[in-house]
Structure 1
Amino acid sequence: MDVDAGAVSTPTTTAANSVHSDHEATPRPELVNENEPVCIVPALGRRLQQHVERYDVTVVGAGPAGLMLGLTLARLGITPLILDERTEQTPAGRADGMQPKTIETLRMLGIADELLQQGVKVYDICLWHSPAHSPSPSPSRVARELHYPAFIVDLVDPFLLVGHQGMVERVFVADLAKRGINVTRCHRFEELTLNDGRGTMQVLTRFNVMREPRTFETSYLVGCDGAHSRVRKTMSPAASAARDDESEMSVWGVLDGEVETNFPDIFTKAVVFSERFGSILIMPRERDMTRLYIEMRPDAHPITATTDPELVQAAIMRRAAQILLPYQLRWRTVEWFGQYRVSQRVAPQFASTAPVPPDPRAASTCPQTEDQQPRIFIAGDAAHTHSPKAAQGMNTALHDSWNLAWKLNLAIRGLCQPSILLNSYETERQKIARDLVAFDYEHANQLSRGDPAALAENFRTNVRFISGVGVEYGQNELNTEGIPGAGARPGCTLPPGKVSRYIDANPVDVQLDIPVLGQFKVYMFVPDVSEAAQSAFLTALCGGIAEPTSLMSKLSAVASKSYLERPRVPSAEDIYKRPERYTAVSQLFVFALITSTPKQNFELAQLPQILARSPWTIYVDDMPDLDTQGSHCTTKYLGPNAALPGHVTLLNVRPDGYVGSLKTWNLGVSSSSSSSPSPSPAATSASNTPPAAEQQQSAAQMGAEASQWLQEYFSRFLAVPLV
């Protein structure tokens, strides 16, 4: 959305007048050899400076999207440069709602607790309607519904978490600081050029009040710089042109502050439709505040770009009071207000291989990249805009960065096919942006039309998408094979799954337990590890993975060297989280076992080495009573057929928690066969069950096939670098 912030009425939100830069606190970068050539830009008639700091990734914009990208990259061992032209982080207002999937992602990163403590949890939504021709046009409640009904969407956190954007930025900035990374403020991005023959780019900025030029060298540039993105303008002409999917724009006002009112639903999410005056969306906020989104119809006030902010604020407050009549509405304080025009737009390009020269004469001087992998990206409002009323903007922006960070990490470390993996960012996230714009267009229009029944139906239909867990990536090189009827589906997040951890008997959530380390998670669902055939399958599978000539072994060897040279950036909390528990076998893959075998029936030492060496990822599926749906994890993830005895399944989960692929093998045995009495020879000959030795041999062959299936999946987008 395009937001024009208005007057701020409390001293706590007044922006600092002093201009400062904290780039000196950023970790020491590499220095580029002064004898290496740089690109000359004839349009400016100058030569770019020769001594520049070098970074793998430069992020322009320190809003939620930029900070999310930075802190995720830091966890994976990549130290980014984060530039922002503002003097400080957002003090108040702007985005304010975190959906359940966003909460889950922040839990994965270990930074959700402070926001959960300070934010307001919204569990339901109320709809009110005030007809135009009623003798007393008083609004009445026409519906009250759960925000996220459990029978529609399966969630660990079934609520909307509300808190202003500055709270989120503060948590993100603090997390970066723990890893020695600070935002380089007061730097305005100006220009991007390619270096000759190095596959890198030079970023020109101007900083401080004197607008002094400063240059950085980078391998990748990510624009998280808002709806008027300057980075977007450096991409191809198609991306820098007017964006598509633009609808007619209507004006809405936004107010944050403390109110005095006798309106009964002021402490929950409420939508009030007044046929005479327009609509209001009410959101409870932290510190006993309330946010109101107020529709400003043309008769309310002729708001223009030059209208005095105080007059705009007064008009917005007056219209809000009119819509709620006869309920009273008075403002004790106003912390922030703004106005925006609803527009739904999606950039035609989220990634580009090379910048557009600032002048046509520079085209022949500035080289093109040789590898044709994307090196310029946009995320958040730079890539898509829409109304804020469904609380989607910040959530979508954060997951743009969440999707991109792990892919950049693998590209920088030389562990992938970058033209495939990095291009998947645009393929996946542009689809989500278009899905969001289509939903938001209808949602915003129904808010303005004042049809509570239509709005409620639209919300119920799209509640999975709104929550974030209904975001689905299409089939591509990363999201491939699935199982009909399975709850775990390629291109989707894992549903909540409750199991107990073998080593300490703690109940844990499968989708949250393994920390974010940039690894692919390979879950092995083996119902009975003590049964001979299933044990043979598991042994052959793990043996194939560990074979030195296998792709996964070769990739693990390269990853081990890479993380030794460039380790993940630690924080003080690591002493409690112990990330080394999950990297003992591989820096790139983590192997987990989920079994229904009672804990007392097997020991860790009996498992194949790659599992025995990873004791913190051995789980027992014995916690259905604690599950959100009262289900066993195996049944919920794999469906009723794949969860049958004698069926073993592999489930690949990407570093961002989305399912990549899964497949089941039917070993044709019962999980109780190992403990059953031996059948008589007559019974054996009469049955279709093969002799035990043949059964184990067949299972071992299937295990080898499963290992090969894994190698083939990862070969689609990963690669061992050529020496």
Structure 2
Amino acid sequence: MSPSADQGYPVGPVGSSTTVVVVGAGPSGLMLACNLVRFGIQLVILDDRPDKTSTGKADGMQPKTIETFKQLRLADPLLKHGARVYDISFWESTADEGLRRTGRKTHYPEHLVGASDPYILLAHQGIVEEVMIHDMESRGVFVTRNSRFTSCSVNGDKNLDIVYDNTLTNASHTIRADYLVGCDGVRSKVREFLPDADLEGEITNAAWGVLDGVVDTDFPDLWSKVALRSHSVGSILWIPREKGMTRLYVELSSTDGERIDKTKTTPEHVMQQAREAMHPFKLEWKKVEWFGTYVVGQRVAKHFMDRNARIFIAGDAAHCHSALAAQGANTGMHDSFNLAWKLNLVIRGLGKPSLLHTYEEERRKIAYDLIQFDVEHCKAFSEGETALVKNFDDNIRFISGIGAEYSPGVLTRSCSSVSGLLPGMLQLPARVTRYIDANPVDIQLDIPLLGQFKIYIFVPDVCSSKNALGHLCQLLKTSLTRITLLANWSYEEHARRHSLSDDFHQFQRYTAVSEAFTFALITQSSRSEFEISQLPDMLQKSRWSLYIDNCQIPSCTTKWFGELGTERIGVAIVRPDGYIGGINKWEFAQADIEWKCFEDYFSFMVC
């Protein structure tokens, strides 16, 4: 039975206390709030603006971010309205030669990236915000607007007293909360309340002007992404946008010398600079929807959280860089995606408080990877096509988000060498057939995100593996029973927050065994070779996550494990955010020994 709208942790209007306060209703803050609301966690989200972003700002969603929105079942309006960019062309002029195309490349080649959505999806920030706001509001939660965060202090009960001002009435309000998360941008006020969390890195005087509008041009590559280098003017980046618009990033200064002259930071100057760079092609604007400027800087906060794991920062509050590779909103939303499931487990008493410390460990690593890439990317942009092409080829998996990987740690444990996937990597996309209804599905999308761990069991031949499969399922049941009992009690007491759209997905199909784990079987046996009733009870109850690995070459089994063979079982633990927590394969007779490594994996859980 689906939970009713008034079940779960209370998440209604602002009161005197809550569990989590999120400051900032941009992409990072909304991604965090949207997930926490779904999990059923009490929260208040504050934003000092009267409404969502109306135009401009962040615009590009990378393949991994598209996949994340698909996993959240929120991608359809974005895919409907956004522009898709599959290729990039390179143009250049020199003192001796006029502007000409020097090359063209597929943006996300299959052999380098392997993304299920190999394109950039372009839509302005407000469209992305609106999708998440609508999902929250359908679950009875609203952004508290015109509310400026001012301070935070620890009270006598060791909770946080969070103060904010209503910008319309100037009235001051205090909320008592267990956690505070600052998603309030590069000038974050929340960051000031984190000890020793200043931004470290470089701020240059290199500046870019940004224009969103409808252009009138005879330039032939208008609907491709274009990296252009003019010998007289500098660099320009063209990007197609929603509603038939184009975004132009126009280089205003490429040196670290004097600060850019303010007379150059006007739409008129940027337009003229672009016209000169595009000569002999015509370039005029029928409409300008948004204009902005930014100065290039690459900085990362010393800390993303306090020592007590009560105050956190995410997105631009934690790291900043150039906008040229469309990484800011993508990385920020995945900061929040990482933090949300960990907060859910700890707040519910299922995860130990130490679990929250993995947020900083994992996301600061990604932030530094991003800064290192961004420095080289900006440099390559100024050097021309050869350097830029090499930079893309060397970093294309990271740019796509697919290659944003975590180092070995508490949540990414290596048990043995498996060719294919490693702990800290994202699930590799693969097409399989769902046993129960013969539907072809994407394995990384089919099981809904419910804050659960997914345990995938790979058995190439079910018929010859029945005893080994039964033994493994018994090991799973025995070692995970305590966590399951605690999780089942928690979600019974405080249900996930319900929306009418959830009725179309029947989430109870994936919680029949446990509220903490979804179990899945992947086999290369055909549907005619076995019945569900012949499987262990755990897998019979998991009938909606039984898959036949027969849809593509290479198969899912090969992608994830390499050669598995008919005498081995493969097991992968996938975290609630889609990252591989542990993966291993072993001979049937080794199950008792090999499973011990996986059993130890869940030491961060309360059991």
Asked if TM exceeds 0.5, the reply is yes
Q: How far did 1:104 drift?
A: 0.5
Pick which of 703-712 and 515-524 moved more: 703-712
In structure 1, what is the equivalent of residue 202 of structure 2? 246
Determine which structure has more spread, i.e. the larger CA radius of gyration.
1
Written as runs of structure 1 = structure 2, the 5 A alignment for 1:52-201 is 53-131=16-94, 133-134=95-96, 138-197=98-157, 199-201=158-160
1:255-304 deviation per Cα after TM superposition (whole angstroms, max 9, x unaligned): 000110111111110011012111100000111110000001389xx986
In structure 2, what is the equivalent of residue 710 of structure 1? 598
* Alpha-carbon distance in structure 2 between the residues aligned to 1:713 and 1:251: 47
* Alpha-carbon distance in structure 2 between the residues aligned to 1:543 and 1:151: 39
* Alpha-carbon distance in structure 1 between the residues aligned to 2:11 and 2:161: 14
Match of 2:548 among 612, 620, 637: 620
Whether 2:388 is the aligned partner of 1:425: answer no
Q: Matched residue of 2:425: which SS?
A: coil
Question: In the alignment, is the contact (CA less than 8 A) between 2:436 and 2:543 conserved in 1?
Answer: yes
Q: Matched residue of 2:561: which SS?
A: helix
* Alpha-carbon distance in structure 2 between the residues aligned to 1:329 and 1:663: 57
Pick which of 596-605 and 467-476 moved more: 596-605
Match of 2:266 among 306, 309, 312: 312
In structure 2, what is the equivalent of residue 42 of structure 1? none
Whether 2:567 is the aligned partner of 1:646: answer yes
* Alpha-carbon distance in structure 2 between the residues aligned to 1:255 and 1:78: 39
Structure 2 residue ranges without an equivalent (≥5): 1-7
In structure 1, what is the equivalent of residue 391 of structure 2? 458
Aligned length: 598
Q: For residue 541 of structure 1, what is the amino acid of its counterpart?
A: L
Question: In the alignment, is the contact (CA less than 8 A) between 1:76 and 1:518 conserved in 2?
Answer: yes
Q: For residue 606 of structure 2, what is the amino acid of its counterpart?
A: A
Q: How far did 1:482 drift?
A: 5.0
Match of 2:472 among 541, 550, 572: 541
* Alpha-carbon distance in structure 1 between the residues aligned to 2:147 and 2:419: 49
In structure 2, what is the equivalent of residue 234 of structure 1? 193
Question: In the alignment, is the contact (CA less than 8 A) between 1:536 and 1:703 conserved in 2?
Answer: no
TM-score between both structures, scaled by the size of structure 2: 0.95
Written as runs of structure 1 = structure 2, the 5 A alignment for 1:582-621 is 582-621=510-549
Whether 2:331 is the aligned partner of 1:391: answer no
* Alpha-carbon distance in structure 2 between the residues aligned to 1:84 and 1:101: 27
Question: In the alignment, is the contact (CA less than 8 A) between 1:96 and 1:164 conserved in 2?
Answer: yes
Match of 2:276 among 322, 346, 351: 322
* Alpha-carbon distance in structure 2 between the residues aligned to 1:30 and 1:166: 23
Q: How far did 1:665 drift?
A: 1.1
1:621-653 deviation per Cα after TM superposition (whole angstroms, max 9, x unaligned): 1112xxxxx31111111012xx12211111100
* Alpha-carbon distance in structure 1 between the residues aligned to 2:497 and 2:53: 26
1:427-448 deviation per Cα after TM superposition (whole angstroms, max 9, x unaligned): 0000000000111111112222
Question: In the alignment, is the contact (CA less than 8 A) between 2:9 and 2:40 conserved in 1?
Answer: no
In structure 2, what is the equivalent of residue 567 of structure 1? 495
* Alpha-carbon distance in structure 2 between the residues aligned to 1:246 and 1:347: 12
Q: Matched residue of 1:55: which SS?
A: coil
Q: Matched residue of 1:53: which SS?
A: coil
1:61–1:658 CA distance, 2 compared to 1 (3 A): same
Q: For residue 212 of structure 1, what is the amino acid of its counterpart?
A: A
* Alpha-carbon distance in structure 1 between the residues aligned to 2:89 and 2:332: 27
* Alpha-carbon distance in structure 1 between the residues aligned to 2:75 and 2:420: 26
Q: How far did 1:713 drift?
A: 1.3
* Alpha-carbon distance in structure 1 between the residues aligned to 2:425 and 2:592: 27
Whether 2:589 is the aligned partner of 1:665: answer no
In structure 2, what is the equivalent of residue 719 of structure 1? 606
Q: Matched residue of 2:312: which SS?
A: strand
Whether 2:231 is the aligned partner of 1:275: answer yes
Whether 2:287 is the aligned partner of 1:333: answer yes
Q: How far did 1:706 drift?
A: 4.6
Q: How far did 1:606 drift?
A: 1.2
Q: For residue 166 of structure 1, what is the amino acid of its counterpart?
A: G
Q: Matched residue of 1:107: which SS?
A: helix
In structure 2, what is the equivalent of residue 46 of structure 1? none
In structure 1, what is the equivalent of residue 251 of structure 2? 295
1:329–1:476 CA distance, 2 compared to 1 (3 A): same
* Alpha-carbon distance in structure 1 between the residues aligned to 2:28 and 2:461: 44
* Alpha-carbon distance in structure 2 between the residues aligned to 1:635 and 1:296: 49
* Alpha-carbon distance in structure 1 between the residues aligned to 2:9 and 2:142: 8
Q: For residue 631 of structure 1, what is the amino acid of its counterpart?
A: P
In structure 2, what is the equivalent of residue 634 of structure 1? 557
Structure 1 residue ranges without an equivalent (≥5): 1-25, 32-50, 354-371, 625-629, 668-698
Q: Matched residue of 2:498: which SS?
A: coil
Q: Matched residue of 1:282: which SS?
A: strand
1:515–1:328 CA distance, 2 compared to 1 (3 A): same
1:296-328 deviation per Cα after TM superposition (whole angstroms, max 9, x unaligned): 1389xx9869x479x711111111111111111
Pick which of 72-81 and 170-179 moved more: 72-81
* Alpha-carbon distance in structure 2 between the residues aligned to 1:529 and 1:446: 52
1:157-215 deviation per Cα after TM superposition (whole angstroms, max 9, x unaligned): 11111111111011111111111111001110000011213x32010000133321001
1:682-713 deviation per Cα after TM superposition (whole angstroms, max 9, x unaligned): xxxxxxxxxxxxxxxxx3xx334454433211
Q: How far did 1:546 drift?
A: 2.1
1:128–1:29 CA distance, 2 compared to 1 (3 A): closer
Whether 2:185 is the aligned partner of 1:264: answer no
1:68-103 deviation per Cα after TM superposition (whole angstroms, max 9, x unaligned): 001111121113211000011000000110000000
Question: In the alignment, is the contact (CA less than 8 A) between 2:87 and 2:106 conserved in 1?
Answer: yes
In structure 1, what is the equivalent of residue 5 of structure 2? none
Question: In the alignment, is the contact (CA less than 8 A) between 2:24 and 2:184 conserved in 1?
Answer: yes
Whether 2:422 is the aligned partner of 1:489: answer yes
Match of 2:402 among 455, 469, 477: 469
1:595–1:298 CA distance, 2 compared to 1 (3 A): closer
Question: In the alignment, is the contact (CA less than 8 A) between 1:483 and 1:489 conserved in 2?
Answer: no
Q: For residue 314 of structure 1, what is the amino acid of its counterpart?
A: E
* Alpha-carbon distance in structure 2 between the residues aligned to 1:384 and 1:270: 26
Q: For residue 334 of structure 2, what is the amino acid of its counterpart?
A: H
Q: Matched residue of 2:204: which SS?
A: coil
Question: In the alignment, is the contact (CA less than 8 A) between 1:500 and 1:620 conserved in 2?
Answer: yes
Q: Matched residue of 1:422: which SS?
A: helix
* Alpha-carbon distance in structure 2 between the residues aligned to 1:553 and 1:559: 10
* Alpha-carbon distance in structure 1 between the residues aligned to 2:10 and 2:474: 43
* Alpha-carbon distance in structure 1 between the residues aligned to 2:293 and 2:419: 45
Question: In the alignment, is the contact (CA less than 8 A) between 1:100 and 1:158 conserved in 2?
Answer: yes
Q: How far did 1:535 drift?
A: 1.6
Q: How far did 1:536 drift?
A: 1.5
